[in-house]
Structure 1
Amino acid sequence: MTACQTPATLGKKDPERATQVRTQLAAEYIKAGDLDSAKRALDQALEINSRDSAANMMMGILLQQEGSKVSLSKADAYFKRAISADPKNAQARNNYGTYLYKVERYNDAIEQLNIAGTTLGYDQRYQALENAGRIYLKLGNVTEAEKSFKQALQANRESLISMLELAEIFYLKQQTADATQLYEQFVRGVGQKSQGARALWIGIRLARANSDKMGMQVLVNQLRALFPESPEYQRYLQLQYSTEAVWK
């Protein structure tokens, strides 16, 4: 026979370990979509140590994933508590930045993502920089977006998102050679047949800019076959006879 350990008894025995175990368990529940079990595990973790940075961060993630207005409003306090408990927790800042983007607090999101993105040794800092770049694009700040995507590629040379975003930025700036190089690198990474509608549209415009009629037609056919209702294909139909130097 074995005795059942409650959160309180395990917490007294090794509170740090007990909090960690429950937080990790909650993460697995969240991945599996079992938000109720995740909430119970995190309640136990925070009962043991209400100031634990990882547990507070995970509660913020849980509430964000649940997605209701009430949960989203509560998530903010947990992310703040996670960062307050450990200002060097780059993962918490990255997740908080993602949350702030979701609730359309764009400038606050950029602040958190840039801190995470410049934390050397943080293995996901390139993702924080990618997200910052996307927000800059949304705000119309192409200069800062380009800078963020370049930094993301420096942090991770296989950052496919940054390759594609920079390819389009360079294309629109008529830096065709640089854009083509990044697009081709992106295609090698994902595979010719695994491109989404947006990637194909970028490829079509680059092929046109490079006077590659055959390559352009191959991509047009692929876009038509796979994404006939996409905004990208509809845009192609609008512009197919246009003589403008840069299709946007």
Structure 2
Amino acid sequence: MKGLSFFLLALSMAGCAAPSNGGYGSTPQHTISQQEASAKIHTELAAQYYDRGQFGVALEEVSLALQSKSDYAPAYNVRGLVRMALYEDQQANEDFQHSLRLDSIDSEAHNNYGWFLCKRGKELDSIKHFMAALKNPLYSTPGKAYLNAGLCSLKAGNVNDAEEFLQKALTAQPNMPEALLGLANLYFTKADYASAKSYFLIFKRNNPSPLTAENLWLAIRIERKLGDRTTENGYAIQLRKNFPDARETQLMLYRQ
């Protein structure tokens, strides 16, 4: 369980919330009014500012969207994400629920609300929203919802469900780095070190970013369990060089 707790910490930012299309991509296209067109533009701008971490400007754009069309569901979805980032949890919860009351089949809203619930310790409640997102045949990024369902199932201690969801994420989006890393961690907690190494190496090949301290510490522990001291030392050198003050470096030095 100690290893699982560290794993969840390492994956705390791995899940996917996705406002970047303003809530579109999961519903059919239709002729829209001038008011809805304006609301859509401001909501998409709000999503872009959210992606950049400019939360104040994002909230201003959402306000303009709702001035144009007060019942525009995607605007509430994006505002929920902004308020989640600001830890205004009561308001975020209300916004996500309002968005889903206005459009109960919006897959992005279900996915984002599920991620909010999972991050706030309501993992079991979150799963039903990921599943609701996946029910929509027009949902363009099902791998995202499967990934989040996998990470949140693991956080809830449902390892078998987590494994199934993460494998489905890879089926939907082959070589998704977050799912590969999730499976590497999952198999490490199950003491299947050969599988953990296999998934970690595939993750490493497909991850566009440099390895983090968490990634390197996982790799070190896998190689230590497999008895490959040469490869372990290679990862250890990287960890000490690139992250001398990281918690993972201290854990490595303490455990050596």
Q: TM-score range by the shorter chain?
A: 0.7 to 0.9
Deviation at 1:139, TM superposition (A): 2.3
**Which has the larger Rg?**
1
Q: Is the 8 A contact 2:81 2:92 kept in 1?
A: yes
Amino acid at match of 2:242: L
CA shift, 1:215, in A, is 1.2
1:219 paired with 2:239, answer no
Instruction: Give, in whole Å, the separation in 2 of the partners of 1:176 and 1:16.
Output: 53
Match of 1:197 among 208, 213, 216: 213
Structure number with the bigger relative contact order (C-alpha 8 A, sep ≥ 6) is: 2
Match of 1:79 among 73, 83, 96: 96
Alpha carbons of 1:32 and 1:198: their partners in 2 closer, same or farther (altered >3 Å)?
Answer: closer
Deviation (angstroms), 1:166: 0.9
Partner in structure 2 of residue 6 of structure 1 = none
Given the alignment, which residue of 4, 12, 16 partners 2:36?
16
Residue among 176, 182, 186 paired with 1:165: 182
Q: Is the 8 A contact 1:118 1:125 kept in 2?
A: no
Q: What is the alpha-carbon distance in structure 2 between the residues aligned to residue 159 and residue 100 of structure 1?
A: 23
Bigger CA drift: 156-165 or 23-32?
23-32
Deviations 1:79-133 (A, max 9, x none): 1121122222111111112222333332222221232245444333322222222
Structure 1 spans left out of the alignment, 5+ residues = 1-12, 241-248
Q: Find 2:193's aligned residue among 176, 182, 192.
A: 176
Give me the identity figure in percent: 29
The answer to whether structure 1 residue 188 and structure 2 residue 205 are counterparts is: yes
Deviation at 1:160, TM superposition (A): 1.0
The one-letter amino acid of 2:147's match is E
Correspondence 1:112 to 2:112:
no
Q: Which moved more, 1:74-83 or 1:107-116?
A: 107-116
Aligned residue number for residue 171 of structure 2: 154
Superposed CA RMSD: 2.6
The structure-2 alpha-carbon separation of the partners of 1:85 and 1:157, relative to structure 1 and needing over 3 Å to count, comes to same
Letter in 2 for 1:83: L
User: What amino acid is the match of 2:58?
Assistant: A
Inter-CA distance 50–183: structure 2 relative to 1 (3 Å threshold): same
SS in 2 for 1:50: coil
| Contact 2:197–2:222, Cα closer than 8 Å, also in 1 | yes
Q: Matches of residues 28-107 of structure 1 in structure 2 within 5 Å?
A: 28-67=48-87, 71-107=88-124
Cα distance in 1 for partners of 2:53, 2:236 equals: 38
- Relative to structure 1, is the Cα distance of residues 119 and 202 closer, same or farther in structure 2, using a 3 angstrom cutoff? farther
Stretches of structure 2 lacking an aligned partner (at least 5 in a row): 1-32
Confirm or deny: 8 A CA contact 2:181 2:199 kept in the other structure.
yes
- Residue 21 of structure 1: how far off its partner (Å): 2.0
SS of the aligned residue for 2:175 comes to coil
* CA–CA distance in structure 2, aligned partners of residues 180 and 108 of structure 1: 32
Structure-2 change in CA distance of 1:238 and 1:66 (3 Å): closer
Instruction: Note if 1:133 corresponds to 2:138.
Output: no
Structure 2 contact 177–203 (Cα < 8 Å) conserved: yes
